[in-house]
Structure 1
Amino acid sequence: MTNTSLAPIAGAEVKNAAFWGHDGKALASFYATALGWTLTQTYGDSAAMISDGTTSYVFYTAEDFQAPNWPEDELVLHLDLGFDDVQAAEQNLLAAGATKPDHQPGGSHWTVLLDPSGQPFCISSNDAW
């Protein structure tokens, strides 16, 4: 439901998003590799931040983290990553610790992978966007 009586707030930008997994620092390292971003800060053994210089992601360790049982479980958040060379990206992401589930609902439009904490994300061609 959209509230049409509110005016948009000028100048709003997403600057940071937070994610939880079994190992926040390892997850930060994975996504830094996946996105070509830089690990910019660590917070002890439990969290790390990556950034491209404009947007940051923080990855936290959650001791009781449970990956969704996808596709049965609904997802709280989902990332779609675009690449110039999707096949090379898939190979690199798998080598970096992603896995490829059997369930692939995207056909030739996108590929679902699971990050090292078991959370699904999709990859597709930059041209698809």
Structure 2
Amino acid sequence: MPLRMKLRAITLDCPDPSALAAFYEQATGLPPHPGSNADFAALDYGNGLILGFQRVDGHRAPTWPTQVVPQQSHLCFAVAENLDEAEARLLALGAGKPGTQPEETRWRVLTDPAGHPFCIVRG
């Protein structure tokens, strides 16, 4: 019989947890978790799930789409706006846009300020 496990957190390694939390706070509208500090910051979904950011000295950003430094995981967000509007807003917040876009009419691959790839899809 499988364990009854509930996902509580998704945590990304990064060089500056506060800065990365601020980017995702502006992008998602999620409030900061009250336990955030200089080495670990988080945003609270309010349903027991947090999106966390932990300081890692010597952090190396993924090199998507190459695998020189693998991404290992990525986040995918549904957006209410059309993809062009959502992309423009995220780029203005500090996201990057890799040159490789495998299916640009269906989703966009962007990178957060620490270099983690994430996708936006019509939602």
2:113 is the counterpart of 1:116: yes
Calculate the TM-score normalised by the size of structure 2: 0.87
Distance, in Å, in 1 between the alignment partners of 2:93 and 2:104 is: 23
For residue 21 of structure 1, what is the aligned residue in structure 2? 14
Paired residue for 2:71, among 61, 69, 75?
75
Cα RMSD for the two superposed structures:
1.4
Structure 1 alignment gaps of length 5 or more: 1-6
Paired residue for 1:39, among 11, 32, 42?
32
Give how far 1:75 is off.
2.1
**Structure exhibiting the larger radius of gyration computed from Cα positions:** 1
Q: Indicate the SS of the match to 1:68.
A: coil
Structure 2 alignment gaps of length 5 or more: none
**1:25–1:61: 8 Å Cα contact kept in structure 2?**
no
Q: Indicate the SS of the match to 1:81.
A: strand
Q: Indicate the SS of the match to 2:13.
A: strand
**1:25–1:60: 8 Å Cα contact kept in structure 2?**
no
Give the count of matched residue pairs: 118
Give how far 1:25 is off.
0.8
Give how far 1:104 is off.
0.6
Distance, in Å, in 1 between the alignment partners of 2:23 and 2:86 is: 13
Paired residue for 2:51, among 47, 57, 80?
57
Identity across the alignment (%): 33
Calculate the TM-score normalised by the size of structure 1: 0.84
2:86 is the counterpart of 1:92: no
